[in-house]
Every structure is written in structure tokens, then in C-alpha cells.
Amino acid sequence: MVGHNTLQQMYKEMVTARYYEERLQEEYLEGKQPAFDISAGPIPGELHLAAGHEASGAGVCAHLRDSDTVTAPHRPHHVAISKGVDLERMTAEIFGRETGLSKGKGGHMHLYDPEVNFACSGIIAQGCPPAVGAALTAKKRNTDDVAVAFLGEGAISQGAFLESLNLAAVQELPVVFVIEDNDWAISMPKERVTDVEDGSRRAWGFDMHGERVDADDAVTVYEAAEDAIGRARDGNGPSVLEVQVHRRMGHFMGDPESYRPDEDVERAQRRDCITRMETRLREHGFEEADLEGIREGAHERVDEAIEWAKDQPEPEPEATYEDVFTNSPDDWPERPSREVTATDGGEE
């Protein structure tokens, strides 16, 4: 059963993530018009928004602590916020500033916060092997930490995902794979890339537990994740959880979505997980003023983080090659010359 404080916390994270992306959207569009120029403005490059996915991040991460590992894909903001990634430094990273999580060199798809063991990547399913590695580490070290890998339904046929499932199953690792099914992989509808309607069934081929949450509801996600993460933490092995979410936006900012039927866009707008969460909160006795108070607090926090980030310095051009290799080639030590002795290859 979900408690009062958890409900409040999940709602706070969801409205923080939604408003954060609304603000990013405004900032992103600055300078990119009238002809869309992806490299212009304060946030150059691609931007993938996760509006409509918030229930998944909040419901899953409610069971996690800082020492648990989370990996996310290219649509990471809601998960990062729910995992407790530093909002100021994350924002500075997205704006390419020196004080960003990766000194402004990673951008919005490559956020990394070792304080809370969070990382994401633009390569789909790429987060699965590192999550398995983190789970293996936890098991070898005898901690009860767990790892969670988020991925999209478009990534469930990737080798990285399937091989990760196999290793996790064989080694009984404390890892949960969370598939966010938003029905689309860029412009490709789900049914054109897989015949499996319920992606959590991928688990069955590895004799692993798999479950799908169909409701656009953070509380239902919370309950399903409680089982999956509890199972992992108690040493009872991995599982797959698929969560139905909705992509309220284009694949990335600037996507004209000409491939997408109007009814699908309308459905995503109608089935809003935040509206659903507000109904849940009212059922649990929250008043409108409580909800308004949570929203206001979240908006204030976001506005502050964005203002702070925009004030941060940009990295010096000379810093471009720093942290790319462990050392710059100029610093590499002289290689000791190695005597190469010919062998006849068969004396013994």
C-alpha cells in the first residue's frame, strides 16, 4: 500500500519533471526559428522530452536509494529527477556549461551523477549491460543494492538488452529492466518492430519474472515495482517490468510528427498520468490547495535551477580535449622498448 508521503513525493517529482521540460522547451526554441536550426540557441543539439512518461520514473524510483544504480536512455529527465540527480548541475549540463555534471560535454542524453549512481546514454539499450555490471558488483560485494535499467519498447530487440537478460538470469542478479512502452520508436509504431504485444514477455525466454502495467498510473507502477525491486533486493533475481506510457511530444523537439495519426496524439493528451495522479491524491484526502502548494514548490525549484544554470560560465575551448582520454597523448609516458625474440613456435 502506498503511503501519504510517498504519494506526495511521487506527485512532486512528476510535476517537477513536467514543468522542467516545459521550461526546457521554451529555452530550447530560443534562436532556432524561423527556419529550424538545431545548432542554434542556448541548448544546441537534440532534445528528447519525456512528458507522459513521468509515472514510470516516479513509481519505480520511489523504491530506490542513492546507492542503487539507475541507467536510462535518451529520454532521461523524469527518471533523473526521480532518482535525485542534482537539478542545478543537470541543467547546467543541458545548457553546456562548465559546472554541468560532465563539465558541459555530455548534454541532455549523457547525464552522469555518481553521487546517486545515475547515468544515461543516447545509444538505445546501452544502459542494460552497465546495470547488469552494477548488479553483479552488488552481489559480489554482498550489499543489498539493486540496479534498474530503463529502456524504450523500441529497444527490446537489441542484442544488448537480450544478452543482459541472459546474464542477469544465469547469475541471478539484482537487476530490474523497465521498458517504457510509448508505442513509438521515432516514427516506427511498435507493431512494426515486434510481434510481442507485451514486452515483459521477453523475460519468459530467460525463465525470469515479467509483468506489464497497463494503466497510466504511478501508483500501479509503484506497486508492481515494489515486487520487482523487492525480489531483486532479497536475492531472488532479476525481472522485467513493462510500463505503458504516452509520448505527449514528438520524438525530439522539432519533429513534425507527420507520420503520427491525430487520434494517437489525442489519446496521449487524454491519458495524462499527472491528471490520473491528481485523482489518486484526491482519493487519499489531499485538498486542491495541497496540490497547488506542491506544484508551486516544484515550479520554484525548476525556475531557480534554470536561472542558476544560465548564469554559469561556458567551458574554455582548451578544455575540449580534457577528460576525453585518461591522459592527453602528450602526457603518455615513453613506452619501454620490448625485446621481441623470434620463436620457432614448436620447440616443446
170 makes contact with ligand TPP (CB under 6 A): no
Residue 13 burial (CB count, 10 A): 24
d(CA 194, CA 155): 10
Range in contact with ligand TPP (rule: CB under 6 A) among 17-25, 141-149, 150-158, 219-227: 150-158
Looking at beta carbons only, is 104 or 152 nearer to Mg ion? Answer: 152
Residues making contact with Mg ion (CB under 5 A): 152-154, 182, 184-185
Asked whether the beta carbons of 94 and 41 are under 8 A apart, the reply is: no
Question: Within its chain, how far is the Cα of 208 from the centroid?
Answer: 23
Residue 185 in the binding site for ligand TPP (CB under 6 A): yes
Q: Closer CB to Mg ion, residue 13 or residue 180?
A: 180
238 to 267, contacts with ligand TPP by CB under 6 A?
251
31 touches 37 (CB < 8 A): yes
Question: Which amino acid, 93?
Answer: E
Which residue of 16, 182, 239, 244 would you call a contact of ligand TPP, by CB under 6 A? 182
Q: Rule CB under 6 A: is residue 154 a binding residue for ligand TPP?
A: yes
332: phi then psi, degrees, rounded to nearest 5 = -65, 140
Q: Could you say which of ligand TPP, Mg ion, none residue 222 binds, taking C-beta under 5 to 8 angstroms by partner kind?
A: none
75-94 footprint of ligand TPP as x/- string (CB under 6 A): x-------------------
Binder among 12, 63, 74, 295 for ligand TPP (CB under 6 A): 74
Q: Report d(CA 314, CA 310) in Å as an integer.
A: 9
Nearer to ligand TPP, 187 or 327 (CB): 187
155 binds, among Mg ion, ligand TPP, none (CB under 5 to 8 A by kind): ligand TPP
Q: Is 153 in the site for ligand TPP (CB under 6 A)?
A: yes
Lookup: cell for 5: 508521503
Which residues neighbour 147 within 8 Å (Cβ) at sequence distance 6 or greater? 68, 69, 70, 71, 131, 132, 134, 135, 138, 173, 174, 175, 176
Minimum CB separation from Mg ion for residue 183, in Å?
Answer: 7
152 binds ligand TPP (CB under 6 A): yes
Contact 78, 57 (CB under 8 A): yes
| Beta-strand runs (E) in the chain | 69-72, 112-113, 118-120, 147-152, 175-181, 184-185, 188-189, 209-213, 239-244
Candidate segments 56-64, 110-118, 179-187, 228-236, binder of ligand TPP by CB under 6 A: 179-187
C-alpha span between 154 and 158 (Å, rounded) = 9
Q: Is 122 in the site for ligand TPP (CB under 6 A)?
A: yes
Q: C-beta of 76: minimal distance to ligand TPP in Å?
A: 10
Judged by the rule CB under 6 A, the positions of this chain that interact with ligand TPP are: 74-75, 122-124, 152-155, 182, 184-186, 251
